[in-house]
Amino acid sequence: DWAHNNTCAPIPDNPTGRKDPRFRKGNILFSYRSLDIIGVIDRDTGRIVWAWGPGVLDGQHHPTMLPNGHILIFDNGTRRKWSRVIELDPLKEEIVWEYTGTPKESFFSPYISGAQLLPNGNVFICEGGPCRLFEVTREGEIVWEYRSPFKVKGTYGIYRATRYSPEYVRPLLERIGKLKTSR
C-alpha cells in the first residue's frame, strides 16, 4: 500500500465546480496519505485533473468538499508531530482557515481521524489516535468535547466520527423505544 488511499468520494454540487469543471459534481476527490497529496479525478476520463499537498500536507485524512466549494482536510502531521484541520480554497490553492489546537492543548493523531463542517459553522474534529472528539468555533474555541475511555487491543483509536442532529436520529430512537416497550 505505497500510496495509502484513504478517501475516494464523489464531489457534490458546489460553487467552485460551477466555475471550474475540474471540481464539478461527480468527479472524484481522493487522498493519498503516504504521498501527502489530495486530488481530483475526472470521472469521465479517469485522469487526475487537479492535485495539491506535497510540501504542505503530512499524512492527511478525510478531505471533504464543502458547500462553499472549499475543501476541509484533517492534516495528521505524522512527521511534524502535531495535527491541524485546514480549509483550502482549491482555485487559489490557499489555506483560508486553520485549527492547530489551543495554547492550553494542542492535538495530534498520527493516523486515522477526520473533520466535519457543522450546520452552525463550527467544525467537529475526530482526533482518532487518542479517541478524542471535539467541536471548535471558527475562532478556535472548544465548545464541546468527548474523550473515550475505551481501548481496542491495548491502544486507543476512533477511525472516524460523524455528528448528527437530534432530528436525524429521533426516528431511530423512537423505534428503539417502541421495540423495548413491546417485550
Q: What is the mean pLDDT of residues 47-70?
A: 98
pTM score over 0.85: yes
Domains and CATH numbers, the chain: 5-181 (2.40.128.630)
Chain-centroid distance of CA 2 in Å reads 22
| Size of the chain in residues | 183
Cβ pair 36, 59 in contact under 8 A:
yes
DSSP 34: G
Quick check: 183 pLDDT over 50? no
SS3 at position 6: strand
pLDDT at 180: 59
Strand pairing report for 5-10 and 94-99: unpaired
Cβ pair 62, 7 in contact under 8 A:
yes
Quick check: 109 pLDDT over 50? yes
